[in-house]
Structure 1
Amino acid sequence: MMKDTELNRRDVLKSAGALGAAGMAGLAGCSGMGGGGGGGGPVEVLHGWTGGDGATAAEALEEAFNEEYPDTELDMNPIGGGGNQNLDAVVANRLQNDNPPSSFANWPGPNLARYEGVLGDISDLWEETGFTDSHVQEAVDLHQYNGAFRAVPLGSHRLNCLFYNTSVVEEAGVDPDSLNSVSALVDALETVASETDKIPMTHGASGTWTTTQLFGVTLLGSAGYDEYMNFVEGNPSEDAVRSAFESLATILENYINDDAASIGLTESNQNIIEGEAAFIHQGNWAAGAYRNAEDFEYGEDWGFKTFPGTEGMYTLHFDSFLYPSNNPSPESTRTWLEFVGGEAAQVAFNQYKGSIPTRTDVDMSEFGPYLQETAEDFADADERPPNIQHGLGITADQRSSLNDVISSEFSGPYNVDAATQGFVDAVSN
């Protein structure tokens, strides 16, 4: 069974046998939109959106493309697995075997380094479509690698989210809006535990990524923006990291569901939908599942609170599509990427995924009140720190190391000292 850490560049080059120079040259192919032997043909797109927050969004994206480009055949291939780990494995094997898909969903920023040498230059597409002017600046900056654009953004997720079931917190007598620190959150979880028979905070930890993600938002909420950025930039404060792990250990030891180790995100989020849990931390894809659930309305049945201690911040994450250079259908793939960065795709996908467009000119009227508020929060944010777990803040190698530490030292029992040292070592310059 594949270990639940994301593939890094070593994985791309080694997991199916190391490539020689000739093989690497074959993968590199052309550096631009050509290559692959013919520009048309079906567009084969790989993605990982199969859960309650993603399947509906992916279907809407596919329908919108087929409506806008009926003469271009689209072959959408969903590959399930939390944190993209199964998708990453398939992509790595395809690249190693010189059989790349037309495009695949993944994350920009430092994450692009894992695909060095196998991504093409689509700077001309960005220029011709005006994407550099129509997308938020962070998207423009983070979709470039080695001086060229390598991917196109589809939407932006927010990571510093705390969702709750309204009836459960009301039964406990907890006011989520009053929670303005990590310690206040811990107190609220204790109140839920003592006043109800519900799960204080539901967690799906069958993969390590959810706990690494929870560490990131706990660090941001307890230590603040500057210390969080010090961690991301390779100068971590051991005291700040230790404090975050201490709070996290308290939560995981006392307030999560008994079956957390055996379930993933989708099942964990169902505890909120079914009224079995008070709180969950996830990116706002959790809200995509709420929108797609029956009779589960924002403000009545569920609510949102900026993760305590991170008020005024928007922890940034992008969903994007990458362009393999040795492309089997370069012209058709160009059509796909132009679509992904356009308004029709960003409306079709994001309203169901629980994310917001990266374009600045999209009418938000179809997105519902929660995502309209999210877009306002993005625009008004004092800071937009990059996430740790999903590609924007640290390299794939570093992220893999963090997940290894969670697996070995912080999946029960919770060894604060070893986890602190492991995290500090993993990111230190």
Structure 2
Amino acid sequence: MAYVRVTDMGSPPGRRVTRRRFVETAGLGATTSLAGCVDQASELVPDSTRSLEVLHGWDEGDGAVAVRALVDAFEEQAPDVPTEFTAIEGGGNENLNTVVDYRLYDDDPPSAFANWPGKNLQRYEGSLGSVDDVWAENDFAAVHVEEAVDLHRQNGSFRAVPIGSHRLNNLFYSVAVLEEAGVDPAGITSLDALFDAMDAVAAETDAAPMTHAMAAPWPTTQLWVAVFLGQEGHEPYVDFIEGRRPEAAVRASFETTARILETYVTYDAASLDLPASNQNVVDGDAAFIHQGNWTAGAFANATDFEYGDDWGANAFPGTENRYTLHFDSFLYPGDNPTPEYSRRWLAFVGSETAQVAFNQHKGSIPTRTDVDVSEFHPYLQAVAEDFENAEYRPPTLQHGLALAPEKVTALNRIVANTFMGPYDVDAATAGFLDVV
């Protein structure tokens, strides 16, 4: 087994990308429809000459801990399967996407790779094989949540298996900073209340009101979605992702997001990646962070930083009855180098054992409905309850469920060009409406 952080730069798509030599790029990632349609399952043949090679993007922090637990559980269950699990560093799957694109383009697919389902599967149109047999043999459709069943199909066949679900509409906070500021987090149920709380933090403490990672554009796109849902509501968001151009709502959400970024975030936000931004809350240098609940995984794995005593979390203000839906999944390349091993891996991914091993460390919850979460972190137990009780489960925009990948790439490019400081509300609004 190998946990590899990839740092080799610059191989073009036309150059072979070998099993031990991958490519990392800092760009937003190519969005391609890759040739070589493989709708039927590859013939099952012994995989004796190849290892199960799985690519993923969890190279550090809670993700690395979760992958190690997942791999250890698989190797205990399948000791006869040689494995090679490779981490491609870079947030938001950007570098992972590029490496996978090059590998598929070069007819050198991995056995499986971590990615997102839903409309994100369009990125790999024609390059994914069917795993209908894995779903049927393991009765996955009966034991995974309804959205997981729907979003893992492409052209009528299952192409992937989910490992867990993240909630995107979260506001995490430092207990100590809010206590010093005299802020009760239970009262932050609107954006106006959030602004009042951040003003109190600025006036009463030395901490920044909010930390935000701006080294890449995707956290800002994600923050804009949270503001949109909290301020404008569910139906305007659905109108936006379905292309009905709710201009007033889009503009108002950019205005509010600009207010947050101009007034309340740390001075060094432009240079921060997500782990560094999370650390600002751990260190007491910032009161709030908006993120998916993978941040809870980072906090839970931090030293001397305890849930309830040191940190807490609410739904992002105004979204208390919603669970913004995100899935982490493993996809099956059609021209598969190890079809037997790969199917065994995907069958394991969808099992109770795997979903407990991974999600309890990752800050996510199982997609299986029959998993007992009573031994999970108390925060994740609360998230699981929120999932059950949510009135709406809108699909995430930034992470591939709501929009086709080329549209997500275009939105992030607009954010990079118009909304990373200074904040051009008019240009960002027009650009987002044009894209969708």
- When normalised by structure 2's length, the TM-score is 0.92
Which of 347, 372, 381 is residue 372 of structure 1 equivalent to?
381
Corresponding residue of 1:77: 86
Matches within 5 A, 1:28-107: 28-29=37-38, 31-34=40-43, 38-40=46-48, 41-107=50-116
Asked if 1:309 corresponds to 2:332, the answer is no
1:49–1:79 Cα contact (<8 Å) kept: yes
The whole-number CA distance in structure 1 between the counterparts of 2:143 and 2:304 is 36
Q: Which residue of 1 aligns with 2:32?
A: 9
Deviates more, 1:174-183 or 1:101-110: 174-183
Identity score, percent: 56
Q: Distance in 2 between matches of 1:29 and 1:389?
A: 28
By how many angstroms is 1:30 displaced?
Answer: 6.2
Alignment of 1:26-425 (within 5 A): 28-29=37-38, 31-34=40-43, 38-40=46-48, 41-425=50-434
CA distance in 2, matches of 1:192, 1:333: 51
- Aligned residue pairs total 412
Q: In 1, Cα distance between the equivalents of 2:427 and 2:191?
A: 22
What is the rounded CA distance, in whole Å, between the counterparts of 1:230 and 1:310 in structure 2?
17
CA contact (8 A) 1:65 1:339 kept: yes
Residues 380-429 of structure 1, C-alpha deviation per residue, up to 9 Å, x if partnerless? 111100011000111101101110110110011000111111111111xx
Q: Are the aligned partners of 2:325 and 2:394 in contact in 1 as well (CA < 8 Å)?
A: yes
The 8 Å contact of residues 26 and 95 in structure 2, kept in 1 or not, is answered as no
Offset, 1:29: 4.7
Separation in 1, partners of 2:32, 2:231: 32
Distance 2:152 2:316 in 1: 27
What amino acid sits opposite 1:333 in the alignment?
S
Counterpart for residue 16 of structure 1? none
Secondary structure, counterpart of 1:308 in structure 2: coil
CA separation in 2, counterparts of 1:161 and 1:254?
Answer: 20
Instruction: Tell me the SS of whatever aligns to 1:185.
Output: helix
The CA deviation string for residues 303-338 of structure 1, in whole angstroms up to 9 with x for no partner, is 011000001110000000000000000000000000
One-letter amino acid of the counterpart of residue 34, structure 1: E
- Secondary structure of 1:279's partner? strand
In structure 2, the CA distance between the partners of 1:342 and 1:49, relative to structure 1 (3 Å rule), is same
Which residue in 2 is equivalent to 1:21?
none
Letter paired with 1:207: A
Contact persistence 1:160–1:315 (CA under 8 A) = yes
Q: Is the 8 A contact 1:30 1:326 kept in 2?
A: no
Tell me, in whole angstroms, the C-alpha distance in 1 between the residues paired with 2:28 and 2:263. Answer: 26
The corresponding residue for 1:17 is none
CA displacement, residues 279-317 of structure 1 (integer Å, 9 cap, x when unaligned): 000000000011111111111100011000001110000
Query: 1: distance between equivalents of 2:219 and 2:227?
Result: 12
In the aligned structure 2, how far is the partner of 1:53 from the partner of 1:60? 11
Give, in whole Å, the separation in 1 of the partners of 2:118 and 2:245. 20
More helix as a share of residues = 1
Paired with 2:403 and 2:178, the residues of 1 have a C-alpha distance of 35
- 1:118-176 CA deviation, whole Å, 9 max, x = no partner? 00011121111100001000000000011110000000000000000100011111112
**Secondary structure of the structure 2 residue equivalent to 1:313:** coil
Unaligned runs of 5+ in 2: 1-9, 11-24
Whether the aligned pair in 1 keeps the contact of 2:130 and 2:159 (CA below 8 Å) is: yes
Structure 1 residues 234, 6: CA separation in 2 closer, same or farther (over 3 Å shift)?
farther
C-alpha contact (below 8 Å) 2:41/2:129 kept by paired residues: yes
Which residue does the alignment assign to 2:6? Answer: none
Q: What per-residue deviation string (whole Å, max 9, x for no partner) do you get for residues 170-199 of structure 1?
A: 111111211111222122212211111101
Look up the equivalent residue of 1:9 and give its one-letter code: T
Tell me, yes or no, if the aligned pair for 1:158 and 1:283 is still in contact at 8 Å.
yes
> 2 CA distance for matches of 1:32 and 1:182?
49
Distance in 2 (CA, whole Å) between partners of 1:80 and 1:256 is: 25
Say which SS state the counterpart of residue 80 (structure 2) adopts.
coil
RMSD across aligned C-alpha pairs, in angstroms? Answer: 1.3
Structure 1 residue 353: Cα displacement? 0.3
Structure 1, unmatched stretches of 5+, are 14-23
Task: State the one-letter code of the partner of 1:329.
Answer: T
Cα distance in 2, alignment partners of residues 358 and 58 from structure 1: 17
Tell me the distance in 2 between the aligned counterparts of 1:339 and 1:394: 29
| SS of structure 1 residue aligned to 2:85 | strand
Aligned letter for 1:70? P
Counterpart CA distance in 1 for 2:76 and 2:245 is 49
